[in-house]
Structure 1
Amino acid sequence: MTGDLRSLVLLAATLTTGLMAGLYFAFSVAVMPGLARADDRTFIETMQRVNTAILNGWFTLAFGGALVLGVTAAVLHRSGQGRPALPWIIAGVVLYTASLVITMGFNVPLNNHLADAGTPAHIHDPAAVRERFETAWVHWNTARTLLTTGALGCLAWAMRTAGSTGRV
């Protein structure tokens, strides 16, 4: 039973981390390049709406669940037959935690500044508002995309390590 629980928690950690990596990747390769072609007011309004819409239960489940499940997987793999996967799980948790630091330290404050700018129709200089937001936000999104993708790779390798040794 312990092996089954370890396997399920590691799988859930890997899946939720994958969802976050995919979300950040989608912003990197589709959303932000698409919005780069929009005028300033459309860009601001769209990002304000996205930043409001993303605050929902599904996002929260993946965003927080990846960390909670990753830490839980590490605890469950700390001894016995689960130990060979532990270094990879720890690496995944560390990389994902770094992505959270970037998100909370950079992307969220940028989102908040954008929200505080007001409605696009009432912003005096939308080009300046966009300039303060877009380049920095894209930069930090790229960093968290790379970190979260690295975390996903580590957790996937942990699953392989656990499976190849027969020690899940």
Structure 2
Amino acid sequence: MIDLLEPLRGPLLLGAAVTAGLQAGTYYTWASGVMPGLARVDDRTFVHAMQEMNVAIVNPVFLASFLGAPALAVAAALAVDAPVRPWAVAAAGLALATLIVTAAGNVPLNDALAQTGVRADFESAWVRLNAVRAVTSTASLACLAWAAWRS
């Protein structure tokens, strides 16, 4: 399998790193700017803004990087040579962890906010989970960059 992917090694590492970077940038932006900004507004504004953003983010552009980051990281892990494979495998695991945290944590909180409109039950848990996503996606990017550099 690895021999079949050899010609794609560089493009897979590049694509995996770019999508990991897009994901890391998304979660970093939410952690460093969006949520601190929303923390300053009243409950009604906060809930309405989050509900609208949670609907708007489910779009082909976001989904391509959200699903593409772990898929390309797994493909890169299969394509790289043994010396850098542990870094690519770590990157894939971290990208998958980002997806799992989102699906198991952030999305249920988003759904609950859509139903209840209660900020107090949402904000602090969502911010913590987003910080985890920022760390896992950034670490995935770092592992992919290291694997690419060492390849």
Q: Same fold (TM over 0.5)?
A: yes
CA distance, structure 2, for counterparts of residue 114 and residue 92 of structure 1: 31
Q: 2:32 aligns with which of 29, 34, 57?
A: 29
Decide which structure has the larger Cα Rg and report it: 1
Supply the AA of the counterpart residue of 2:55.
T
Specify the alignment match of 2:124 in structure 1.
135
Matched position secondary structure for 1:55: coil
Is the alpha carbon distance of 1:38 and 1:28 closer, same or farther for their aligned partners in structure 2, counting shifts above 3 Å?
Answer: same
Shift, 1:117, TM fit = 2.1
Question: What is the aligned partner in structure 2 of residue 123 from structure 1?
Answer: none
1:104-147 deviations in Å (ceiling 9; x for gaps):
111000000011126xxxxxxxxxx1010000000110011111
Report the Cα distance in structure 2 between the residues aligned to 1:16 and 1:10, rounded to whole angstroms. 10
Report deviation, 1:83. Answer: 2.2
Q: 1:25-56 CA deviation, whole Å, 9 max, x = no partner?
A: 00000000000001000000000000000000
Name 2:94's counterpart in structure 1.
95
How many residue pairs get aligned? The number is 148
Indicate the residue corresponding to 2:82 in structure 1.
83
Matched residue type, 1:133: F
In structure 1, what is the equivalent of residue 146 of structure 2? 157
> Within the alignment, does 1:58 sit opposite 2:61 as a pair?
yes
The residue that corresponds to 1:148 in the other structure is 137
Query: Could you report, residue by residue, the CA deviation over 1:61-94 in whole angstroms, capped at 9, with x for unpaired residues?
Result: 00000111111111112xxxx2222110001111
Q: Give aligned-pair identity as a percent.
A: 47
1:96, CA displacement in angstroms?
Answer: 1.4
Question: Quick check: 1:109 aligned with 2:108?
Answer: yes
The 8 Å contact of residues 31 and 127 in structure 2, kept in 1 or not, is answered as yes
1:33 & 1:7 partners in 2: Cα distance?
38
Residues 2, 113 of structure 1: alpha-carbon distance in 2 compared, 3 angstrom cutoff: closer
Gaps of 5+ in 1: 119-128, 163-168
Runs of 4+ that moved beyond 4 A: 1-4
- Give the structure-2-normalised TM-score: 0.94
Separation (CA, whole Å) in 2 of partners of 1:4 and 1:161: 17
Partner amino acid for 1:41?
A: R
Report the Cα distance in structure 1 between the residues aligned to 2:99 and 2:7, rounded to whole angstroms: 28
The match for 2:10 among 3, 7, 10 is 7
